[in-house]
Chain A
């Protein structure tokens, strides 16, 4: 019924006639008759907006929204300030294309420049790109940056997010890299297998998938001793409390930017951020915005270093990325502006404090942490029957931690109140 075609039947006739066609079918005279789709598509009939609204709302209502969430595992429930939605829903930002036409795209270009600056400030790096699809792809693209024709070995910690491991396997496997997985010992990555021979980089996640704070500085030292590029993936809140990727010695910093103002959204759209030191600037994939001047000497922003990209370098490009997650990058910028440096540090402290309070309370309830090492806002506890416990909590409207091998992976953020935590623990005991 709806198609957003505004021309009236009469206008269409006029247009056809003017362009020299006798009927609409003639528009497809280049399509061989035997190829044309005959009959009707097996789709329902078109609908009015009100009908569509009802169907969509009914679908959304079939999903369960939880009263409180104690699960992270790669997707985090943080509070999103009201200004974020208000800004990012502005139609200009929503409906604009990639800012190839700089003169009429200064707004979106400047917002990306500001985003790049903020990612550099968080990570302590020199240069950031305008985003990639998500944290997993950021990891794979970072490894691609290190590729050398003669060395194919890549060290990857076993403690990284399992989806990231899968994506790295897909991207790097097809490129012919040899992936050496470094095992965990007491929840932390064991670097003893790193001999550096024929290898290009080491990839570590801080905190790791199990929440444990890794010896990330040590990892950097080992990587550099062996002549490897050190890629560190970090949660953006962890960066505000723990040392930054630069302080840990990282050469490339990547991560999942979803915690910076993006809702959980059943997994996407999310935001892959990437930043590096200046010496690797030209290897950084994707779009990058730079500052310059216009013909009158006024400040201007443009997409720059484009000769690295697929639309110019074609088969010689090191990445094929074109569309990115610009709108998510804008979201992160607005979020970081609203939080400010003090707000980000406070949120990070609260994530840490609440997760530690949760861990202490759960221990009282008999759920002991599996690893001794300190953690940021996630941790694993032992549990005899994780599925049963999570189901019990579910019935009370609580999304419990994620069942993982050996127990449950819990998470707390600044969005969880003490009351919620106390209620959770009461239900665990019940």
Chain B
């Protein structure tokens, strides 16, 4: 399982890449994609939607399940990765390249974990 050092993580298994102090890119961690299995579709949020930390913002579908994606931080959606609509499998094959959406005016970042803490958290959750 890969957990890049330069990223931050939420306990709900989203990764966060800081583009600037107030802008981020969000995707699903390797651990998350592995648990979810083969993803077949992504319901992306609307641009301009308000993300609230800890609340569902969009969802991903596998054949027999749908799982919420939570906003790891608060902010405003500025862009969504429409390429995923045609190639949801990218989330499985390249989880850290497959960003879902970008947020601006980011706040509520204090609950994010660094890679080391996130790996520990995943280990605990597996037991």
Contacts and interface: CB of A to CB of B under 8 A. Distances in A.
A associates with B: yes
Interface string A280-320: 00100000000000000000000001110000110010000
Interface stretch (B57-65, B69-77, B106-114, B115-123): B57-65
Given A307-B62, A312-B64, A312-B65, 14 more contacts: A282-B41, A305-B41, A306-B63, A306-B64, A307-B40, A307-B41, A307-B61, A307-B63, A307-B64, A307-B65, A307-B66, A312-B66, A313-B66, A316-B66
B61 to A, nearest CB: 4
Is chain B's binding surface mostly helix, strand, loop or mixed? strand
Pick from B61, B62, B64 the residue with the most CB of A within 10 Å.
B61
Interface in B76-109: none
Nearest to A317: B66
A305 B65 CA distance: 11
A224 B64 CA distance: 36
Contacts of A282: 41
Interface in A303-339: 305-307, 312-313, 316
Contacts of A316: 66
Contacts of B66: 307, 312-313, 316
Contacts of A305: 41
Contacts of A313: 66
Interface string A97-135: 000000000000000000000000000000000000000
B26 to A, nearest CB: 21
Interface string A234-264: 0000000000000000000000000000000
Interface of A: 282, 305-307, 312-313, 316
Nearest to B65: A312
A307 B60 CA distance: 9
A69 to B, nearest CB: 47
Nearest to B59: A316
Interface of B: 40-41, 61-66
Nearest to A312: B66
A316 B61 CA distance: 13
Nearest to A302: B63
B22 to A, nearest CB: 26
9 contacts: A305-B41, A306-B63, A306-B64, A307-B61, A307-B65, A307-B66, A312-B65, A312-B66, A316-B66
Contacts of B61: 307
B124 to A, nearest CB: 29
A306 B62 CA distance: 9
Contacts of A306: 63-64
A75 B62 CA distance: 41
Contacts of A312: 64-66
B84 to A, nearest CB: 14
A174 to B, nearest CB: 24
Nearest to A311: B64
Contacts of A307: 40-41, 61-66
Nearest to B43: A282
Contacts of B65: 307, 312
Nearest to B66: A307
Contacts of B40: 307
A307 B63 CA distance: 6
A306 B41 CA distance: 11
Nearest to B68: A316
Nearest to A149: B46
Closest 8 interchain pairs by CB?
Answer: A307-B61, A307-B66, A313-B66, A312-B66, A312-B65, A312-B64, A307-B41, A306-B64
A93 B126 CA distance: 46
A312 B41 CA distance: 14
Contacts of B63: 306-307
A312 B40 CA distance: 14
Contacts of B41: 282, 305, 307
A289 to B, nearest CB: 14
A307 B66 CA distance: 6
A373 B60 CA distance: 50
A307 B37 CA distance: 14
Nearest to B62: A307
Nearest to A309: B66
A316 B62 CA distance: 16
A291 to B, nearest CB: 15
A264 B62 CA distance: 42
A282 B41 CA distance: 10
A294 to B, nearest CB: 15
A320 to B, nearest CB: 16
A316 B66 CA distance: 10
A312 B63 CA distance: 10
A312 B62 CA distance: 10
A137 to B, nearest CB: 24
Contacts of B62: 307
